[in-house]
Chain A
Amino acid sequence: MTTDAAGGDPHDELARVVREHAGRLAAALVRLIGDFSAAEDLVQDAVVAALQRWPVDGIPDRPDAWLFTVARRRGLDVLRRETRYREKLAQVQWPVPPEPDERLRLIFTCCHPALPRSAQVALTLRVVCGLTTAQIARAFLVPETTVAQRISRAKRKIADAGIPYRLPSGPELADRVGEVLTVVYLMLNEGYLSSGGEVASQRLVDDAEWLAALLHELLPDEPEVAGLLALIRLHRARSGGRFDAGGGLVLLADQDRARWDHAAIADAVALLTRAARRGRPGPYQLQAAIVACHAEAPRWEDTDWEQIVLLYDMLLHLAPSPVTRLHRAVALRYTAGPAAALAAVEEVSGRLDGYHLFHATRAGLLRDLGHAAEAREADARALELTQNPAEQAILHDRLHWT
């Protein structure tokens, strides 16, 4: 059941209830009727019905039983020709006794490495989090038909290629957990700094946090799962300062840190510290540690940049990437000065020429070094490359006022 009874937006409440129950129902139905695709269809129908009925009738006392009843009725109807599924379905009553790790199996199937990444994301959101195709399309700014196609292709592949519905074990587990975490991380990224509509992206971050928390509950010994959960929570804890009253993006240096949720920051740091004690560092723990450095600094001037540069070095060692090198260069600005930082930025110019933040970072450093004309040129290039309205606004301001 939902634990947050703080009221708030009825749509949030609706989303929470669906998220809490859709995945359980899907997992139970896959087990009961033994067909991933058919079970998923039934849950999706029930979710669509709930999104129509609940805003009018109110959320039922037993949302799980309500969703099950609709899915079952629909199942008895559409599975007419599939007698074996129908008979199984006709016999079950809700609640069915849950099997341990049932939703975990569902997640691992949705994020199977034999599926393309975009399908893993869409399938996980739909099957595990109970989003509709339309909601996924809005969050990722792609046509609904594209999402529907990705999902139906993925379901066909699961059935035809023999993708199993089971928990990976042994040495396979680590790889497969990594695959799932990548999907959750993509949701965070898209939701946190996306070009999507505000409500849809907020919802995506909710889903990412919820999934990470579920994974953490089911796989408590995996430090990278805890690391990603801490990372998401650290980002969220600071979301209060990210936008001004007019919806404009506020740069980290200018954010009002009193608006950050310091209790949530302390909790996330404690979670991260527990994970780090296992002595198996990974990219998510390191990224969370970097964000924690910012979150724990009382003022911008107090930021421990030396520590941040060190964490970036470790991150680059584990997961080399030009974007991480760019971020490290930003930190280097405060430990070694703008000239050293600019040199580090130029090193990745070949790989990041199409990335707006590369040009925006370059512009900032050029300006610090007194090269105003070149800085303007770089800002203009950054503006060309971003779709995000909040970032566009900042770059516009910079072009107008500097």
Chain B
Amino acid sequence: MKYVLLFVDTEQFSADLEAMTPDDRARAFAKVDAWMAEHRHLIRGGSKLQDAHTATTVRLDAPEPIVTDGPFVEGKEVVSGYLEVDVADLDEALRMVRTWPGCPVVEIRPLES
């Protein structure tokens, strides 16, 4: 079954990452790389996204499309990346996500088959 993992950053997480020494940050990234390598056989695609300041949102529920700067939900949590994975069931997706060493929130959403 296919799922998308939506990775969500919080302000605190970004600030913590910012405050790290270059060595610590390199170690944190290495953990993420190791996780990716461990689950490579389950990952079908996906990417890290550029920062939220690059986001543009278009609302089509008004008489005219409204284009605004920023992500669609204004808040402290922003989607920072996604992966498409192909696993047996929700439990396998949960097992993967439990050991995710990066950002503090992950949403698991099945794809429509």
* Residues of A participating in the B interface, judged by any CB pair closer than 8 Å: 112-114, 160-164, 166, 168, 172
Contact = CB atoms under 8 A, between A and B. Distances in A.
A162 B94 contact: no
Contacts of A112: 90
Nearest to B1: A162
Contacts, number: 25
A161 B95 contact: no
Given A163-B89, A164-B90, 19 more contacts: A112-B90, A113-B94, A114-B94, A160-B110, A161-B90, A161-B108, A161-B110, A162-B1, A162-B3, A162-B89, A162-B90, A162-B93, A162-B110, A164-B88, A164-B89, A164-B91, A166-B91, A168-B91, A172-B91
Among A160, A162, A164, A166: residue with most chain B CB under 10 A? A162
Contacts of B110: 160-162
B1 to A, nearest CB: 4
Interface string B75-99: 0000000000000111101110000
Contacts of A172: 91, 95
6 contacts: A113-B94, A114-B94, A161-B90, A162-B3, A162-B89, A172-B91
B44 to A, nearest CB: 15
Contacts of B108: 161
Give the size category of B's interface with A.
10 to 19
Contact of A114 (B1, B88, B90, B95): B90
A193 B89 CA distance: 38
B108 to A, nearest CB: 8
A163 B1 CA distance: 11
Mostly, the A contact residues are loop
Contacts of A166: 91
Contacts of A114: 90, 94
A163 B89 CA distance: 6
A160 B113 CA distance: 10
Among A114, A161, A166, A168: residue with most chain B CB under 10 A? A161
A155 to B, nearest CB: 14
Nearest to A165: B89
Nearest to B112: A160
Contacts of B95: 172
Interface in B54-68: none
A160 to B, nearest CB: 6
A112 B110 CA distance: 16
A112 B94 CA distance: 11
Contacts of B90: 112, 114, 161-164
A163 B91 CA distance: 7
A213 B97 CA distance: 33
Contacts of B1: 162
B2 to A, nearest CB: 9
A164 B1 CA distance: 11
B100 to A, nearest CB: 16
Please provide the 4 A-B residue pairs with the shortest distance between their CB atoms, ordered closest to farther.
Answer: A164-B89, A162-B1, A162-B89, A162-B90
B89 to A, nearest CB: 4
Interface string B1-40: 1010000000000000000000000000000000000000
A112 B90 CA distance: 10
A114 to B, nearest CB: 6
Contacts of B89: 162-164
Contacts of A164: 88-91
A114 B93 CA distance: 12
Contacts of A161: 90, 108, 110
B14 to A, nearest CB: 27
A177 to B, nearest CB: 15
B59 to A, nearest CB: 28
A172 B89 CA distance: 15
A163 to B, nearest CB: 5
Nearest to A113: B94
Among B88, B90, B95: residue with most chain A CB under 10 A? B90
B88 to A, nearest CB: 7
Contacts of A163: 89-91
Contacts of A160: 110
